[in-house]
Chain A
Amino acid sequence: MKTINFIFRVHQRSNLKRYRFFEIGNDHYYADDYADEAAVRQVTDQCYLEANRTLLEMIRSSNGKFKVSFAISGLALEQFERYAPEVIESFQELAKTGSVEFLATPNAHSLASIYDEDEFVIQTKLQTNKIKQLFGKMPTVYANTALVYSDEIGESIAKMGYKTIMIEGAKHIMGWKSPHYVYNHAYNNKVKLLVRDNKLSDDINYRFSQWNWNEYPLTAEKFIGWIKMTPPEDDFFNIFLGYEALGVLNNKNSGIFEFFKALPYHAIEQGVGFSTPGESAAKSKPIDTISVLHPMSWADEEKDLSAWCGNELQNEALNKLYSISKRVHLCSDLLLKMDWQRLQDTSHFFFMTTKHYSNGMIYAEAIPYESPYDAFMNYMNVLSDFMERVNAQYPSSIENEELNALLQTIYNQEQEITDLETKLEACKEKTVKRVLKPKEEKVPMKKKITATVVKK
């Protein structure tokens, strides 16, 4: 049976305020709260609430046959908590139906998978824990930022324990292969790859309200008809969109919500089912492997990383940012860590692209800066201040290796303390059992132990 997986990416970018260089060292608040709130409110009103309501209704009226999945970034969840808690509630309501799957994705919608594997792991943990905490389930399928993927990234995702990964159906990788099957990682045959159907996805995302498109208007019947018309062996149709496709990119008057509402009816009528990536992966057999040597993504025509690291401005900013990641990991300052997450948002680097200067990009209007140079300058000013704060905690005069060694010592000592503590605990229990004096005082133990270690 042909099944459709609808997956929506939910992310709210973190806006930086206008940060002049003479504020470096004086002002450590970088966020443009007004812009953040305005954006969250706008998308909440136009998209999230209405779209969630529509999907919920679809799930209920189809008796749970309609299924849907979300990849929500941690930064977005943070912003909802601050500015639009009702969005989280409506997602929770969706989660309760049992027909909704949440995917794992980097917390900050970042490129950590390319630049820093440790950070990638940390961010995944942050996001998945948050998802577990809010929606009660640990994600099992991985959808990286903008579906950035290469064999290497696949390997590190597998190391984190994920067996299913969403990837883009980029032409230069797929060649003649169809995105409608499940594939294997190039050399780890335990890892399954689900491929995004970019044609069908973009039909809804970009072309749905384009009246000069030859298929305009797109109806649910026509859409399901296309899926039905594919060869009988084609099973999986992974439609992966930014959630803004519902209500923002295609506004309410375009009929996008009605289109979705009509989907289950036509699907059931024509024998097409719905599912989630996790379920699809579980019941399918991979037919081949896909090898991706250079990272690919779902961005632009090139389907590579050039939207975020295509010019010298972007490369400089990213390299400077990730040059301090080791030190940030050592810090325990909570505010610093929060800023660190926000600074990794890919949108900062997207604004520095010089690509839309020549070819009219679809998002070009949404860029809040006058030019790529403006975006770069503002970001670098913020980053300079941030780096100063990190250096204040771990001075740059100490070499990374030296610092590592010192920290390793501290870490080892900590390890030793816990080891000794458990030993002591065991001894204590033994003593307690032997002497049978349960009311022995416990308190001074720890102090003593610490003292012994320090002497060492």
Chain B
Amino acid sequence: MKALMFGWEFPPHILGGLGTASYGLTRGMSLQPDMDITFVLPKPWGDEDQSFLHIIGACNVPIVWRDVDWNYVNDRIGSKMHPDEYYQLRNGIKYDFHRIWTNDLGCIDFSGRYPDNLLEEISNYEAVASVIAHSRDFDVIHAHDWLTYPAGRFAKQISGKPLVIHVHATDYDRSRGQVNPDVYRIEKEGMDSADHIITVSNLTRNTVIEKYHQHPDKVTTIHNAVEPLEFINELHKSERKDKVVTFLGRITMQKGPEYFVEVASRVLQHTDGVRFVMAGSGDMMDKMIRLVAQRGMADKFHFTGFLKGRGVYEMLAESDVYMMPSVSEPFGISPLEAMQCGTPSIISKQSGCAEILDHAIKTDYWDIAAMADYIHAIVKYPAMYEALRKNGLEEVNAITWEIAGQKVRKIYDMVCGR
């Protein structure tokens, strides 16, 4: 089974949860012996782990025919792609894309991020998909998140191979209901033309069925999982007088940071020996800093700014409680990561991961009193902390990508009619 996957992020250079999920899923699927995955990325950095899949950088795929010699190609992109592959892909150019600006190799420069001209980048990605679809052989197309749906659709049109789209989030989650019509159009078209839709939670599945009018039979939930942490033994929790409650993630509307601040204010009114940390950055950060000042608790409430790589896990391991009051979270991998570090998690019922976790505390994102109460309980009653920690570790270690990968494989087999 050869799968052609379109993605947008891949570790180690990631901006959100999409990259982590793509990595985990492909890694889990690669454990199946007959699985061959080609993963297309807008802009790989060259340090991605390619031991279990093959990565094609869209920025190295020619879409306009240029007559360049082997050595020149090798000089330019040899570290990221073999020149022979470049020539093979060049044979797939069947359309005229001269309207798009290309470089000396006939390739597009992708930012690989989420720039202001995102829609343009998405359509450029579509052009690259056509070249790949014409030049390579595969059985199934798998597109991760709305940015890659157009590419997946185009590849399906060209090759006639079945398309599976993987909904990691919808615009309803990102915008609290105020959807962007352009994004909605792209999402809807992608879902309409897909042979099967995979969602990361039942919450997202319901959105896809209700808001995007998809037939329930076409939509399957496959929950995300977590990779075991390699450096878990190097993480430690230092002795500290005060307990630490952490919010970690983008400080945006979707994540409900203002609820975290309100909860902190409620807890601090009645409890000593607790500190609150808001790690991450985002468009609501300044507002949150002001809110903390207004509540008069800046001495107990701290901002760390954006954390990267191991810093994230170190922060989680140092915390006594991890909190994710997301207003709408398609899945939300970070509570699972917190639990891996042995930190009890409080998550909102509006998070997809709540569907698979028993030993995390679940409340409504607006229920400030309940969240404050749980924080107090975990901080003040040691048995609560210990039980959540122990049972949480046990639970999260049983959630593996290998099982998720097998479920994806079943869907491949189904759409391929095997």
Specify which of A20, A24, A317, A357 lies most central, judged by the most chain B CB atoms within 10 Å of its CB.
A20
A167 CB-CB contact with B under 8 Å: no
Distance between A174 CB and nearest chain B CB, rounded to angstroms: 34
Q: Which residues of A contact B372 (CB under 8 A)?
A: 20-22
Q: Which residues of B contact A377 (CB under 8 A)?
A: 373-374, 377, 381, 384
Q: How far is the CA of A22 from the CA of B382 in the complex (A)?
A: 18
Contact indicator B384/A313 (Cβ below 8 Å)? yes
A380 CB-CB contact with B under 8 Å: yes
Contact indicator A315/B362 (Cβ below 8 Å)? no
A80 CB-CB contact with B under 8 Å: no
- Which residue of B has the minimal Cβ distance to A25? B270
Across the A-B interface, how many residue pairs have beta carbons closer than 8 Å?
62
B178 CB-CB contact with A under 8 Å: no
Distance between A348 CB and nearest chain B CB, rounded to angstroms: 14
- Which residue of B has the minimal Cβ distance to A370? B362
Distance between B112 CB and nearest chain A CB, rounded to angstroms: 42
Given contacts A373-B361, A376-B381, A377-B384, 13 further A-B contacts (CB under 8 A): A20-B372, A21-B373, A22-B270, A24-B270, A312-B390, A315-B383, A316-B383, A357-B358, A370-B362, A371-B361, A377-B374, A380-B377, A380-B384
- Which residue of A has the minimal Cβ distance to B381? A380
Q: List 12 A-B contacts (CB under 8 A).
A: A20-B372, A20-B373, A21-B376, A312-B386, A313-B383, A313-B384, A357-B358, A370-B362, A371-B358, A371-B362, A373-B388, A380-B377
Contact indicator A376/B384 (Cβ below 8 Å)? yes
B91 CB-CB contact with A under 8 Å: no
Q: Which residues of B contact A284 (CB under 8 A)?
A: none
Q: Which residues of A contact B238 (CB under 8 A)?
A: none
Contact indicator B377/A376 (Cβ below 8 Å)? yes
B233 CB-CB contact with A under 8 Å: no
Contact indicator B381/A311 (Cβ below 8 Å)? no
A381 CB-CB contact with B under 8 Å: yes
Q: Which residues of B contact A373 (CB under 8 A)?
A: 361, 374, 377, 384, 387-388
Q: How far is the CA of A54 from the CA of B391 in the complex (A)?
A: 47
Near B by CB (< 8 A), chain A positions 322-371 give: 354, 357, 370-371
Near B by CB (< 8 A), chain A positions 275-326 give: 311-313, 315-317
Given A313-B384, A313-B387: A21 in contact with B362 (beta carbons within 8 A) = no
Query: What is the total number of residues of chain B having a CB less than 8 Å from a CB of chain A?
Result: 23
Distance between B137 CB and nearest chain A CB, rounded to angstroms: 46
Chain A 68-92 interface mask (CB, 8 Å, partner B; 1/0): 0000000000000000000000000
Q: How far is the CA of A51 from the CA of B343 in the complex (A)?
A: 51
Query: What is the total number of residues of chain A having a CB less than 8 Å from a CB of chain B?
Result: 22
Distance between A416 CB and nearest chain B CB, rounded to angstroms: 45
Sorted nearest first, the 9 A-B pairs with minimum C-beta distance are A316-B383, A377-B377, A21-B376, A22-B270, A312-B383, A20-B373, A380-B381, A313-B387, A312-B387
Q: How far is the CA of A155 from the CA of B266 in the complex (A)?
A: 51
B369 CB-CB contact with A under 8 Å: yes
Q: Which residues of B contact A22 (CB under 8 A)?
A: 266, 269-270, 372
Q: Which residues of B contact A381 (CB under 8 A)?
A: 373, 376-377
Indicate which residue in A20, A312, A316, A376 contacts B369 across the interface (CB closer than 8 Å): A20
Distance between B345 CB and nearest chain A CB, rounded to angstroms: 11
B271 CB-CB contact with A under 8 Å: yes
- Which residue of A has the minimal Cβ distance to B385? A312
Specify which of A24, A313, A354, A373 lies most central, judged by the most chain B CB atoms within 10 Å of its CB.
A373
Given A357-B358, A371-B362: A21 in contact with B377 (beta carbons within 8 A) = yes
Contact indicator A316/B382 (Cβ below 8 Å)? yes
- Which residue of B has the minimal Cβ distance to A311? B387
Q: How far is the CA of A1 from the CA of B358 in the complex (A)?
A: 53
Q: How far is the CA of A20 from the CA of B269 in the complex (A)?
A: 13
Distance between B338 CB and nearest chain A CB, rounded to angstroms: 16
Q: Which residues of A contact B390 (CB under 8 A)?
A: 312
Near A by CB (< 8 A), chain B positions 349-405 give: 358, 361-362, 369, 372-374, 376-377, 380-384, 386-388, 390-391
Q: How far is the CA of A21 from the CA of B380 in the complex (A)?
A: 10
Q: Which residues of A contact B382 (CB under 8 A)?
A: 316
Q: Which residues of B contact A312 (CB under 8 A)?
A: 383, 386-387, 390
Chain B 32-71 interface mask (CB, 8 Å, partner A; 1/0): 0000000000000000000000000000000000000000
Chain B 261-273 interface mask (CB, 8 Å, partner A; 1/0): 0000010011100
- Which residue of A has the minimal Cβ distance to B375? A21
Specify which of B362, B381, B384, B386 lies most central, judged by the most chain A CB atoms within 10 Å of its CB.
B381
- Which residue of B has the minimal Cβ distance to A314? B383
Q: How far is the CA of A121 from the CA of B303 in the complex (A)?
A: 56
- Which residue of B has the minimal Cβ distance to A376? B384
Given A21-B373, A22-B266, A311-B387: A316 in contact with B381 (beta carbons within 8 A) = yes
Q: How far is the CA of A317 from the CA of B381 in the complex (A)?
A: 9
Contact indicator B383/A21 (Cβ below 8 Å)? no
- Which residue of A has the minimal Cβ distance to B379? A21
Q: How far is the CA of A22 from the CA of B386 in the complex (A)?
A: 23
Indicate which residue in A24, A317, A370 contacts B383 across the interface (CB closer than 8 Å): A317
Q: Which residues of B contact A354 (CB under 8 A)?
A: 387, 391
Q: How far is the CA of A300 from the CA of B53 in the complex (A)?
A: 50
Q: How far is the CA of A372 from the CA of B376 in the complex (A)?
A: 16
Chain A 116-159 interface mask (CB, 8 Å, partner B; 1/0): 00000000000000000000000000000000000000000000
Q: Which residues of A contact B271 (CB under 8 A)?
A: 21
Distance between A386 CB and nearest chain B CB, rounded to angstroms: 14
Q: How far is the CA of A370 from the CA of B349 in the complex (A)?
A: 12
Q: Which residues of B contact A316 (CB under 8 A)?
A: 381-384
Q: How far is the CA of A22 from the CA of B376 in the complex (A)?
A: 9
Near B by CB (< 8 A), chain A positions 9-25 give: 20-22, 24
Q: Which residues of A contact B391 (CB under 8 A)?
A: 354
Q: Which residues of B contact A315 (CB under 8 A)?
A: 383
Specify which of A357, A377, A380 lies most central, judged by the most chain B CB atoms within 10 Å of its CB.
A377
Q: How far is the CA of A80 from the CA of B391 in the complex (A)?
A: 40
